[in-house]
Chain A
Amino acid sequence: GENVEQHPSTLSVQEGDSAVIKCTYSDSASNYFPWYKQELGKRPQLIIDIRSNVGEKKDQRIAVTLNKTAKHFSLHITETQPEDSAVYFCAARIKAAGNKLTFGGGTRVLVKP
């Protein structure tokens, strides 16, 4: 089955700096890669996603890049703000495997004011 590795597990940045989280996946059949933000005790919230036929996607301060050859994808948050503090999860989906998502281990991001 699919295996998703996520690094780092914790990330502390100064407000205004950039944050980068990296994920690798094992199955080349994965075709959809969402990123979620989860606050304590709440549901995951989709912040950005990318499909396998696209190399990069940007939405204001958030961007995702995908390298299919290397099987890794990254989340980039620029001009970080204290409200960006949360746990971020990457995920990968194999459509042929019932469309289920496999999640990375999560990254706890702390933005220090």
Chain B
Amino acid sequence: GAVVSQHPSRVICKSGTSVKIECRSLDFQATTMFWYRQFPKQSLMLMATSNEGSKATYEQGVEKDKFLINHASLTLSTLTVTSAHPEDSSFYICSARVGQGREGYTFGSGTRLTVV
């Protein structure tokens, strides 16, 4: 149980275009979704926290107008990378708390974004 489905797994886009990444909680309601970025051989860096029905909270140094987060329902959160540039190429991964009295977090399978 507590599965988060993330799509797409890989995407290649041209500089200047936008890319949307979706994370769906399949068998539970994710009131909060965490979005991470991971550069090669580095750790997971939290970008923002999305809460269903309210504005996302962004970590210091993360541009909210560039990384648009929407959490319109209890089962879907999206991250849109707008006007992508090569330096945005990274592994993006979402995560949600398992909840229901249990500890732990479940992660999406990640999205490898390459901007050319």
A→B interface (CB under 8 Å): 32, 34, 41-44, 46, 49, 51, 89, 98-106, 108
Q: Which 10 A-B pairs have the closest CB atoms?
A: A43-B107, A103-B43, A103-B44, A105-B43, A106-B43, A43-B109, A44-B107, A43-B110, A98-B49, A100-B46
Q: Which of B42, B44, B97 has most A Cβ within 10 Å?
A: B44
Q: Which of B13-49 contact A (CB under 8 A)?
A: 32, 34, 41-46, 49
The minimal Cβ–Cβ distance linking A40 to chain B, given in whole angstroms, is: 10
Residue of A nearest to B94 (CB): A43
B→A interface (CB under 8 Å): 32, 34, 41-46, 49, 57, 91, 93, 95, 97, 103-105, 107-110, 112
Cα A9 to Cα B88 with chains together (Å): 25
Please judge, given known A-B contacts A42-B110, A43-B107, A44-B107, whether A89 and B46 are in contact too, CB under 8 Å. Answer: no
Contact A104 B104 (CB under 8 A): no
Contact B49 A100 (CB under 8 A): yes
The minimal Cβ–Cβ distance linking A20 to chain B, given in whole angstroms, is: 19
Cα A94 to Cα B98 with chains together (Å): 16
Contact A99 B32 (CB under 8 A): yes
| With A34-B104, A41-B112, A104-B43 already in contact, 15 other A-B pairs whose C-beta atoms are closer than 8 Å | A41-B110, A42-B109, A43-B93, A43-B109, A44-B93, A44-B107, A49-B103, A51-B103, A98-B32, A98-B57, A103-B43, A103-B45, A105-B42, A106-B42, A108-B41
